[in-house]
Structure 1
Amino acid sequence: MEKDLQVSITVIRRLPKYHRYLTELLEKGIRKISSQELSNLTGFTASQIRQDLNNFGGFGQQGYGYNVEDLHRELGKILGLDKKYNAIIVGAGNLGQAIANYKGFEDAGFKILSLFDRNPRMIGLKIRDIEVLDVETIKDYIANHKVEIGIITTPKESAQIIAQIYIESGIKGIWNFAPVDLVHPDNIVVENVRLNDSLFILSYFLNQFDNK
């Protein structure tokens, strides 16, 4: 299997959904599935599914479909889920604590090492045994720990400053929840989570229904 480095971001964003449904199929003891059956689950067309998977090599067999366990494993490798990643969070407010509390990340191989905050009342607290440290110590912490992912849950005014610290400290992946577009070099991967944008889209569709 050879990975196509030119795979579109649209295809990549569909892969986690495939992986999630395949996980559920395995839990139900289902060992094979056709592209049409997978289409019925995911909402994507069978043709689209085949095209998406063909970007990464041949997985299915005509007349048989897909081996669920094999496809689940290969998609996990493509998504990097066969590896372990250490992460830290800057911003120990409600959102940062919620992320630290979510055990599902650790189950998927993403370990939250520590949280950081500048509020003296937060420093020293533990969230699911994860200690909140003073943000002033973050550079030394990163230098002494293997951190691959930096998570930002600060107000937007602080987000770029934290991102710059991550970048200068050698972190290559940033998960940004702050409502601001970060400035970063091309060799830094930034995934923005726009909670308000998602809510506004929901509001748009509700508004369309109300206007019918």
Structure 2
Amino acid sequence: MDRENRVSITVIRRLPKYYRYLGELLKKGINRISSQELSKLTGFTASQIRQDLNNFGGFGQQGYGYNVEELRNQLGKILGLDRTYKTIIAGAGNLGQAVANYRGFEEAGFKILAMFDKNPKLIGLKIRDIEIKDVDEMENFIRENNIDIGIITTPKESAQDVADIFMRSGIRGIWNFAPADLKVDDKVIIENVHLNESLFTLSYFLKNESDYVRD
């Protein structure tokens, strides 16, 4: 996709929601849906849904709507979910273990090969079948296994050092849970998940309910 035709990040962030709801429809045995019906499920307008999907080609048929399975498969390809990503976690504390325990990632193609920590009490333990290794082994492990994604669940103070190791070792994608704004080079894509900021936003809207407008 060339620069002029790049899709906005706002549209891209809506695609996983479409993908999730289409999966729920398939589980219910629903094979066809209109943009109006999908609007009621997602909270986005029918017009917005059609515009979003038109960025990637014509998936619907006038008078028929969308084939649920076909649309979900196409969105999966657009999101890159038709391949497997080799993944590691840096930080094997409570948050890191919670991420490792979530089977949904593996079902979507994100295979966690190892966890890393500097706490000697954790090294050698396994979360499901994922071994916790010494952080000193992390750089070599990344190189030897061609890791695609590194997940950071360390304290803030260690996060940039971990990101530097990731970049030096050839990792292209970072999923950062540490409450820090990390510096990465242009070749690395980073997605930040700042839990406190999300919770503080919720707190704001609870206090100022009249300001809450659904997207």
The match for 2:99 is 99
Query: 1:83 is matched by which residue type in structure 2?
Result: R
| 1:146 Cα offset (Å) | 2.4
The match for 1:40 is 40
Matched, 1:146 2:124: no
The match for 2:213 is none
> In structure 1, what is the Cα distance between the partners aligned to 2:139 and 2:13?
32
- Secondary structure of the 1:26 match is helix
Q: Percent identity?
A: 69
| 1:5 Cα offset (Å) | 5.1
- Secondary structure of the 2:56 match is coil
Matched, 1:136 2:125: no
The match for 2:23 is 23
Query: 1:180 is matched by which residue type in structure 2?
Result: A
C-alpha deviations, 1:170-196, integer Å up to 9, x for none?
A: 000000000111111112100000100
Matched residue count: 210
Stretches of structure 1 that go unaligned for 5 or more consecutive residues are none
> In structure 1, what is the Cα distance between the partners aligned to 2:148 and 2:192?
16
> In structure 2, what is the Cα distance between the partners aligned to 1:119 and 1:19?
38
Please tell me the root mean square deviation across aligned C-alpha atoms, in Å: 1.6
**How has the CA–CA distance of structure 1 residues 55 and 209 changed in structure 2, closer, same or farther, with 3 Å as cutoff?**
closer
Within 5 A, what are the aligned runs for 1:9-20?
9-20=9-20
| 1:142 Cα offset (Å) | 1.1
Query: 1:133 is matched by which residue type in structure 2?
Result: K
> In structure 1, what is the Cα distance between the partners aligned to 2:188 and 2:204?
33
The match for 1:54 is 54
Stretches of structure 2 that go unaligned for 5 or more consecutive residues are 211-215
Query: 1:109 is matched by which residue type in structure 2?
Result: G
The match for 2:198 is 198
> In structure 1, what is the Cα distance between the partners aligned to 2:135 and 2:99?
18
Runs of 4+ aligned residues of structure 1 deviating over 3 Å after TM superposition are: 2-5
TM-score with structure 2 setting the length: 0.94
Query: 1:177 is matched by which residue type in structure 2?
Result: F
- Secondary structure of the 1:179 match is coil
